[in-house]
Amino acid sequence: MRITLCTSCALGRGGFAETLGAAVAAEGIAAEIATAECLSGCTRPSSIAFRAPGKTAYLFGDLTEDDLPDLLTFARLYAASADGTFADARPLGRLRFKAMARIPG
Protein backbone atom coordinates (compact mmCIF):
# COMPACT_ATOMS: atom_id res chain seq x y z
CA MET A 1 0.00 0.00 0.00
CA ARG A 2 1.12 3.53 -0.71
CA ILE A 3 0.00 6.39 1.52
CA THR A 4 0.56 9.82 0.01
CA LEU A 5 0.33 13.03 2.02
CA CYS A 6 -0.11 16.46 0.42
CA THR A 7 2.80 18.77 1.26
CA SER A 8 0.97 21.90 0.14
CA CYS A 9 -1.35 21.46 3.11
CA ALA A 10 -0.51 22.36 6.70
CA LEU A 11 -0.29 18.76 7.91
CA GLY A 12 2.14 17.83 5.15
CA ARG A 13 4.26 20.93 5.68
CA GLY A 14 4.38 20.16 9.41
CA GLY A 15 6.22 16.85 9.06
CA PHE A 16 3.23 14.55 9.54
CA ALA A 17 4.62 12.14 6.92
CA GLU A 18 7.39 11.17 9.35
CA THR A 19 4.94 10.85 12.24
CA LEU A 20 2.63 8.69 10.15
CA GLY A 21 5.51 6.57 8.86
CA ALA A 22 6.75 5.86 12.38
CA ALA A 23 3.24 5.00 13.59
CA VAL A 24 2.55 2.71 10.62
CA ALA A 25 5.86 0.92 11.17
CA ALA A 26 5.20 0.57 14.92
CA GLU A 27 1.83 -1.06 14.08
CA GLY A 28 3.54 -3.49 11.69
CA ILE A 29 1.54 -2.24 8.71
CA ALA A 30 3.35 -2.68 5.39
CA ALA A 31 3.08 0.69 3.69
CA GLU A 32 5.18 3.12 1.73
CA ILE A 33 4.75 6.69 2.95
CA ALA A 34 5.08 9.24 0.17
CA THR A 35 4.44 12.93 -0.31
CA ALA A 36 3.12 14.91 -3.25
CA GLU A 37 3.26 18.64 -3.79
CA CYS A 38 -0.52 18.82 -4.25
CA LEU A 39 -3.41 16.33 -4.13
CA SER A 40 -5.94 18.96 -5.32
CA GLY A 41 -7.92 18.71 -2.09
CA CYS A 42 -7.67 22.45 -1.51
CA THR A 43 -11.31 22.87 -0.49
CA ARG A 44 -10.69 20.35 2.32
CA PRO A 45 -7.00 20.84 3.11
CA SER A 46 -4.60 18.42 4.67
CA SER A 47 -5.31 15.58 2.27
CA ILE A 48 -4.05 12.02 2.18
CA ALA A 49 -4.47 9.23 -0.36
CA PHE A 50 -4.37 5.44 0.09
CA ARG A 51 -3.67 3.23 -2.94
CA ALA A 52 -2.73 -0.37 -3.60
CA PRO A 53 -2.67 -2.42 -6.82
CA GLY A 54 -6.07 -3.89 -7.62
CA LYS A 55 -7.80 -2.07 -4.77
CA THR A 56 -10.14 0.87 -4.50
CA ALA A 57 -8.17 4.07 -3.80
CA TYR A 58 -9.27 6.63 -1.20
CA LEU A 59 -8.71 10.34 -0.73
CA PHE A 60 -9.38 11.96 2.64
CA GLY A 61 -9.31 15.64 3.62
CA ASP A 62 -9.83 17.95 6.58
CA LEU A 63 -7.20 15.98 8.49
CA THR A 64 -5.46 16.93 11.70
CA GLU A 65 -2.90 15.14 13.85
CA ASP A 66 -5.84 13.96 15.98
CA ASP A 67 -6.87 11.71 13.07
CA LEU A 68 -3.77 9.52 13.42
CA PRO A 69 -5.55 6.67 15.29
CA ASP A 70 -8.31 6.54 12.66
CA LEU A 71 -5.74 6.65 9.84
CA LEU A 72 -3.97 3.68 11.41
CA THR A 73 -7.27 1.81 11.72
CA PHE A 74 -8.01 2.55 8.07
CA ALA A 75 -4.52 1.39 7.02
CA ARG A 76 -4.93 -1.91 8.91
CA LEU A 77 -8.38 -2.58 7.45
CA TYR A 78 -7.32 -1.50 3.97
CA ALA A 79 -4.28 -3.79 4.05
CA ALA A 80 -6.50 -6.72 5.14
CA SER A 81 -9.17 -6.06 2.50
CA ALA A 82 -8.91 -8.05 -0.73
CA ASP A 83 -10.31 -5.24 -2.89
CA GLY A 84 -10.10 -2.14 -0.68
CA THR A 85 -13.81 -1.94 0.09
CA PHE A 86 -15.53 -2.08 3.47
CA ALA A 87 -18.96 -3.37 4.39
CA ASP A 88 -19.11 -1.08 7.44
CA ALA A 89 -17.31 2.25 7.74
CA ARG A 90 -18.11 2.79 11.43
CA PRO A 91 -14.77 1.35 12.66
CA LEU A 92 -13.10 4.25 10.84
CA GLY A 93 -14.38 6.75 13.38
CA ARG A 94 -14.39 10.37 12.24
CA LEU A 95 -12.37 9.45 9.17
CA ARG A 96 -15.50 8.11 7.47
CA PHE A 97 -16.83 11.68 7.35
CA LYS A 98 -13.61 12.98 5.81
CA ALA A 99 -13.66 10.89 2.63
CA MET A 100 -13.39 13.04 -0.49
CA ALA A 101 -13.15 10.33 -3.13
CA ARG A 102 -13.27 6.58 -3.57
CA ILE A 103 -11.77 5.46 -6.88
CA PRO A 104 -12.43 1.89 -8.07
CA GLY A 105 -9.30 -0.24 -8.53
Q: Answer whether residue 105 shows pLDDT above 90.
A: no
Predicted local distance difference test score (pLDDT) of residue 8: 95
Q: Answer whether residue 47 shows pLDDT above 90.
A: yes
Per-residue three-class SS string for 26-52: HCCCCCEEEEECCCCCCCCCCCEEEEC
Across the range 40-63, mean pLDDT stands at 96
To the nearest whole percent, how much of the chain has pLDDT over 90? Answer: 97
Q: What is the pLDDT of residues 4-39, one digit of tens each?
A: 999 999 999 999 999 999 999 999 999 999 999 999
- Grouping H, G, I as helix, E, B as strand and the rest as coil, residue 58 is strand
Across the range 58-65, mean pLDDT stands at 97
- What value does the mean pLDDT of the chain take? 96
Give the chain's length: 105
To the nearest whole percent, how much of the chain has pLDDT over 70? Answer: 100
Predicted local distance difference test score (pLDDT) of residue 35: 97
CB atoms within 10 A of CB 76: 15
